[in-house]
Amino acid sequence: VKELEQAVLCSASEVKELEPLRKIRELHEATLAELEVDQETCDDVMALLDELTMLLVGLSLLKDLTPRSLDSLVSFGERLSTRIFSGYLRRQGVPSVQHDAFEMGIKTTDQFTNGDVLYEESVENVRANLRRAWAASDLKFECPDGKEEVRVVPVVTGFLGQGEKTGAITTLGRGGSDLTATFIGMALGIDEVVVWKDVDGVMTTDPRVVPDAKPIPLLTVEEATELAYFGATVLHPQSMQPLLEKQRGVGGSIPGGCDDLRVRVKNSYNTGAPGSVICAGDRNMEETVLTSIVLKSGVNMLDIVSTRMLGQYGFLAKVFSIFEDLQISVDVVATSEVSVSVTLDISKIWARDLDAEELLKLEKSFDGLATVKLRTNRTIISLIGNADRNNEALGRTFAVLTRLGVNPEMISKGAFKNNVALIVPEEVGDMCLRELHREFFP
């Protein structure tokens, strides 16, 4: 951000001499030379670096950095690296062609910095464009066993798309590269997409808090989505969306493909580890009580109690219309006829906590409708597992919490029925997680 501010504030004639821009150019020139890629790749990379310079010159003239401009700027890293990697593959004898996702047909909403993929439109675009590229390419070779022809390997930019109406480059937000991979897998009817991380798969809990956390061999997309949303940082909730879309039948049945798309999470530092497999179908849960326990800290909790008489309709509708007006998303909800408790999804909307002014504005929005009590520094403990054994899981959980002297301030069950969320003060969150993991994963 500091470097971008330099470009915006300096004069147009000074942009080319900015040290960050000079270092970027030198780094890419050195990389091209070291990898000895072909001249076409070198020309493409240098042309992109010139385009980056021109964009920064434009920003310095306008003295304005919009979300649309920011998306264009952050796209260059992915566009440059994929061109270099594709060129390096060819240098090693592997046929490869680079593709920009926004030109390949991944359409999104025009919400810059956090676009949503438009699945129906994008599936056919990607499928047709990749097949057209394969058919047109002369970069093909025979398998060693001579059984089939291997076509060109596409190298695609992650986390980028094209705005539905503007046609401009958009980004998909955090986790967008995993989303791109799983989406392309769904579009092409691929059996399995492998996502490389720095851990041995999806874990039973956060290994930074509980060092003896174990990898989960197999889990469903519903379990993975809940895990990702409520704190398992190895995955982002968006990256699971293509599997959910596949369940709904988006993309149809692909001839020769597998309708049961799987995502395998593996460790790039421990390639021999089997990793975790996330499947779009069901799995046998008879022996499972809990799949994982996850923690989401830094949460704000609101207790909202109606000031009107019992039986007044429309209370919940008015409460959630306030959140909509303020563009605040909520995590966990517990309701009755005259009250509702919610936790605020800070991580999705803000890269920081709500400041005092924003919290005051939120509280004042309920004047005349309800009294509001705000609790900051809360933690969500999510118990994700077998919905048919929730009673057993809760019984054992409350026994542990009672022993620790911790009383949950809010309890909620998710729509999938496989997630029970407990809200506790942040200062006891790690302690609860360690003891609960010891109880369920001895």
169-186: per-residue pLDDT in tens?
A: 999 977 788 899 999 988
How would you classify residue 105: left for phi > 0, otherwise alpha for psi between -120 and 50, otherwise beta?
A: left
pLDDT in tens, 186-211: 888 888 899 998 889 999 999 999 99
Task: Label residue 307 by pLDDT band (50, 70, 90).
Answer: confident
User: Which pLDDT does position 161 carry in this prediction?
Assistant: 96
* Sequence-distant (≥ 6) Cβ neighbours of residue 396 within 8 angstroms: 289, 439, 440
* In contact, 302 and 374? CB cutoff 8 Å: yes
Percent of the chain with pLDDT over 90: 48
Task: Label residue 428 by pLDDT band (50, 70, 90).
Answer: very high
pLDDT at 255 over 70: no
284-298: average pLDDT: 90
pLDDT in tens, 141-168: 444 445 455 568 899 999 999 999 999 9
Virtual CA dihedral for 390, 217, 233, 381, nearest 10 degrees? 20
pLDDT in tens, 75-89: 999 999 999 999 999
User: Which pLDDT does position 286 carry in this prediction?
Assistant: 87
Work out the mean pLDDT of the chain and round it to a whole number.
85
**Which among 331, 339, 415, 341 has a CA at the least distance from the CA of 380?**
331
Q: Where are the beta strands (DSSP E) in 137-188?
A: 141-142, 149-150, 153-156, 160-163, 169-171
Cα→Cα distances 46→21, 31, 60, 224, Å = 13, 12, 21, 41
pLDDT at 107 over 60: yes
pTM given for the model: 0.79
287-305: average pLDDT: 91
Q: Where are the beta strands (DSSP E) in 49-140?
A: 96-99, 107-108
Distance of CA 219 to the CA centre of its chain: 18
**Which among 394, 404, 395 has a CA at the least distance from the CA of 425?**
404
Question: What percent of the residues of the chain are helix, what percent strand, and what percent coil, each to the nearest 5?
Answer: 45, 25, 35
111-130: average pLDDT: 89
